[in-house]
Each structure stands twice: as structure tokens, then as C-alpha cells.
Structure 1
Amino acid sequence: MADAAPTATRIPIYLKVRDHLADDIQSGNLPPHTRLPSERVLAESHDTTRVTARLALSQLEAEGKIYRSNRRGWFVSPARLVYNPTYDYSFTDYVSAQGREPRTETLGVDLTTVSSWLATRTGLAPGQSIVHLRRRRYIDGRPVLVENIYLDPARLPGIERFDFNRSLWKLLRERYGVELTQKQIQMYPTALVDPQAEALCVSAGTAGLYVNRLSRDGNGRFIEFDEEFWLHDTLCITVDVNAS
């Protein structure tokens, strides 16, 4: 008896819709920041349901090919920014060098005290004074990053009075003569929650990338602890490694 012919694998409809949109993005028919059709229009054009259209869009979002902006809709993601978290160069410089338009917005600067959570990360004593800086960063007009930065006012007196819409690296070097020579960096995927999600105009639970960086000077003294909350479709992380 002859073997039965193999049954063809049926591709789910939402993946067919996903593939159609992905092909249009790849070919350039849908350039970066193009607004996509609504779920209703997408469903009608593919003779399917809004639930199926939503699944297709969610798949593309998970892949970093599109992004959603609250109350505005779905858009095509631009090319990822190449980012090396070990380098001491300004956001403005490395974004501009890649042909993109950067902008920095200071959301708040406070002189507060070290919590027990922060003490374990900085080595400072609980209750000691610390400067908390919060900034939002934009690329091509889109908010992509929120930062929580903690600075030691004992090492950097008066720093809370400066303009933080400029490069912090350059301020530390030019005003205080500080070179950040020791760094410890952690990176992992996360779900963005408020206030970070709200600041980035996305829904709570949107995929993100969390980066934190502890920086010390050449004497091992704490200078800065930086938390970065990135939209996940924004970055291509690269780190240079020299083999010994």
C-alpha cells in the first residue's frame, strides 16, 4: 500500500497578513514612520476579522518592525540605532553620527536621599544626599528612552543647577575633571510600566529594554548610577571585545 501524501501545512491567516505587511516594509513601500491602516481597514482588505489583524500587528510589533503610539495608531519602525553602552560619548553625538535627529528633555532634577535599594547599587550610605535626574530622549521626534540618573553631589558639588539638556559626559569631564574609568553594566528585556511607559507614550506592558550602568572614577569612587528604559525596537546593542 502506497504511503499517503503528506498533508500541506496550513499557514494561519494572521501570519499571511503579517507577511504581506513585512514584505511592504522590507521593499520600502512602507517607509519608516508610515502610519499603518487601522485594524478595521486591515481586516477588510484581507477579508478577515479585526482579531486576526490585531494578531498580525502584534507579531510585527514583537519583531520590532512596527510600533504603536497611544491614541495615534501603528507606525513602521525606523532602522535600529547602533548603541555601545560601554562608550563615554553623548547621546547627541552618536545619534547625529548615524544621520538621525536627537533631542533631550529634562523631566526633573531633585536633591533626595539614598534609599536602601540605591545604597546596594552605589555603595553610598542610606540617607546620604544624592541628585536624581530624570530625562527623556528623542530620535527623529519620537520619544525612545527615559533615564533615571543618580549623581553624587559630594563629588560633584552644585551639579543639580546645570543644564541637563546637554551632554552629561561632557559636563563631568569639562566642569569636574571626571573620567568614568570603571563601569558595571546590566541589560535585560523588560515590560515598560508607568511612569516610563506614560513618558514614552506607550501602553503599560509594552516591550522594552532595561540598561543600568554603575560608573566610578579612577580611584573607585562612585560617580553615577544610570537606569535606561528603551523601547525595544529602537536599538542594536554592540560591544567591542579585544581578545587577549
Structure 2
Amino acid sequence: MAEAEQPIYRQIATSLEADITSGKLKEGDKLPSERVLAEQFGISRMTARQAMRELTAKGILVTRTGHGTFVGQPQIQQTLTTLTGFSEQMEPLGYELSSIVISSSLSQADNACAAALKLTQTAQVHRLVRVRLVDGKPLAIETTEVRADVAPGLLDKADFSHESLYSILRASFDIVPTTAEQVLEAAQASPDVARTLQIKAGEALLKLTRLTFDAQGEPFEYVRSFYRGDSFAMKVNLTLGSPKNQ
């Protein structure tokens, strides 16, 4: 549909989004009130409100009760098509990546991890807890557990605040991540997670739980991550199944 045929509120939303994309409006900038926008564009306040709501629904704007509407943090989108680690996911998107290692240890697997990796209750795993940052801002807190018996000494092989775990697994242990099962769930930030991700307790999160298999079909890695709900989206590409299921 041509721009001239679009509803007025959508044209205004497109114009505001272009100002944000170009950098004219930056993250954290406060937008004019509905009244000011209406006067600026020669539209009704209702139309201005519709335009703002459209951008808020897309996560481009955020509304703070009693304070106004602001340009939100750019949302990072991951497409679920291939199995990659965090570094491999983000680098092609042009972001500056970094990680902070919260803890790294040889630990006993908890019940969920032991069940997923088919381990006994006394089996040990390499547990690596990291905060993932994009352009210097915390995006996720990630707990990765790798079977200790398949990668002895893993945590001593590299500085995992800079190195890719998958790269070290390939180079040092000939472990190639081949397939994975991933579950996405809505969650709320606990006080500890909120503090780490610099958000308020109770804010929306996306919880990702992944079980990764090697080339022989054996599970070797169990990952539990919490992503900021205002900064991350998961895109899934689907294809139509058998005609009989249409």
C-alpha cells in the first residue's frame, strides 16, 4: 500500500520511526506530548495518540506513567533457523559484544540439568554464568552447563569473557554442536536478575532453555538464559506443512 493510502496515524508513526532510525531522536529522548504532536503535524490528538500507540506496541517507544513517552532501547531480534552461540548470533548484526563472567566452577549438576544431560545425581558439570552485553548494555544472564566428562579442564582453556565457548569446544575437544532443543517461556525478573540486567524486579523477561547435542546425538550442554523483554525478540521462520494439514 502506498504511503498516501495509509491511515494518517500510520504515516505519522512512520515519520517518527524514521527520525529514530536516522538518529534524530535517540534512545531515552522524550517525545513531545500528544497536543504538541497534533499541532506539529496538523492532526487531531486522537490521531497522534494512535501513532504513539503503534510505536509503543512495536517496542520502539516506552511510556512511563507520570513522565511521558520516550524512545526505547533498540530491540535485538534473533531468528531461529540455525544453531549458533551468542557470539555467532550477534556478530553478523554489527553489535559490539562483551561478557562478564559471574562465576565458573566444576559443580554437581542440579536435578533439571542432570535429567536433561542424562547424568547421575552425583555427576559434575562445568558451570559458567555470564552476563551478556551488547553495545555495553546488559541483554541477558546466561547459565551454561557442560558435561565434565566430555570436556575435562574446559574452564581453564580460555577467558570466557572474551572467547566463544563453542569455538573452544570445537578446537580443544572436537565437540561440534549439531542440533538443539530450545524452549521459550515468559518470566518475571527476580530481584537478583533485575539488579544484574539493570531493570526493575518483576519486569518481563524471555527465558530460554536449550539442550544441545553433538554430532553423535548425545546431549552435552544445558543452557538457561534470561533475556530482557524490552530489548530482545525471537523470530521463528515457518513453512507450510503437508497439504492434508491445511
Q: Same fold (TM over 0.5)?
A: yes
Q: What's the counterpart of residue 222 of structure 1?
A: 219
Q: What's the counterpart of residue 35 of structure 1?
A: 28
Q: Structure 1 CA distance, aligned partners of 2:146 and 2:223?
A: 9
Which 5+ residue runs of structure 2 have no aligned equivalent?
A: 1-9, 38-51, 64-68
C-alpha contact (below 8 Å) 2:139/2:232 kept by paired residues: no
Q: What's the counterpart of residue 81 of structure 1?
A: 76
Kindly indicate which of the two structures has a greater share of residues assigned to helix: 2
**Is 1:164 aligned to residue 122 of structure 2?**
no
* Distance change >3 Å, CA 115–CA 99, structure 1 → 2: closer
Q: CA deviation at 1:75?
A: 5.8
Q: Secondary structure at the match of 1:183?
A: strand
Q: What's the counterpart of residue 3 of structure 2?
A: none
What is the TM-score when the length of structure 1 is the normalising length? 0.71
Q: CA deviation at 1:209?
A: 0.6
Q: What's the counterpart of residue 9 of structure 1?
A: none
Which 5+ residue runs of structure 1 have no aligned equivalent?
A: 1-18, 47-56, 69-73
Aligned partner (choices 83, 94, 97) of residue 99 of structure 1: 94
Q: Structure 1 CA distance, aligned partners of 2:62 and 2:19?
A: 17
Q: CA deviation at 1:86?
A: 5.3
Q: CA deviation at 1:145?
A: 0.9
Aligned partner (choices 2, 5, 26) of residue 17 of structure 2: 26
* Distance change >3 Å, CA 167–CA 82, structure 1 → 2: same
Letter in 2 for 1:168: L
C-alpha contact (below 8 Å) 1:86/1:183 kept by paired residues: no
C-alpha contact (below 8 Å) 1:190/1:210 kept by paired residues: yes
Q: Structure 1 CA distance, aligned partners of 2:120 and 2:79?
A: 31
Q: Structure 2 CA distance, aligned partners of 1:60 and 1:203?
A: 22
* Distance change >3 Å, CA 29–CA 80, structure 1 → 2: closer
- The CA RMSD over aligned residues, in Å, is 3.7
How do 1:61-140 and structure 2 match up within 5 A? Answer: 64-66=59-61, 76-85=71-80, 87-140=82-135
How do 1:146-157 and structure 2 match up within 5 A? Answer: 146-157=141-152
Work out the number of aligned pairs and report it: 213
Q: Structure 2 CA distance, aligned partners of 1:86 and 1:150?
A: 23
Q: CA deviation at 1:164?
A: 1.0
Q: Kindly provide the CA deviation profile for residues 60-114 of structure 1, in whole angstroms up to 9, marking residues without a partner as x.
A: 777523469xxxxx96334432313553434334323222222122111021112
* Distance change >3 Å, CA 29–CA 151, structure 1 → 2: closer
* Distance change >3 Å, CA 94–CA 185, structure 1 → 2: closer
Q: Secondary structure at the match of 2:191?
A: coil
Q: Kindly provide the CA deviation profile for residues 188-226 of structure 1, in whole angstroms up to 9, marking residues without a partner as x.
A: 221121322211011111111111110121223221001
C-alpha contact (below 8 Å) 2:183/2:208 kept by paired residues: yes
Q: Secondary structure at the match of 1:195?
A: helix
Q: CA deviation at 1:175?
A: 1.2
Q: Secondary structure at the match of 1:96?
A: helix
Q: Kindly provide the CA deviation profile for residues 155-174 of structure 1, in whole angstroms up to 9, marking residues without a partner as x.
A: 00001213212111111111
Letter in 2 for 1:201: Q
What is the TM-score when the length of structure 2 is the normalising length? 0.70
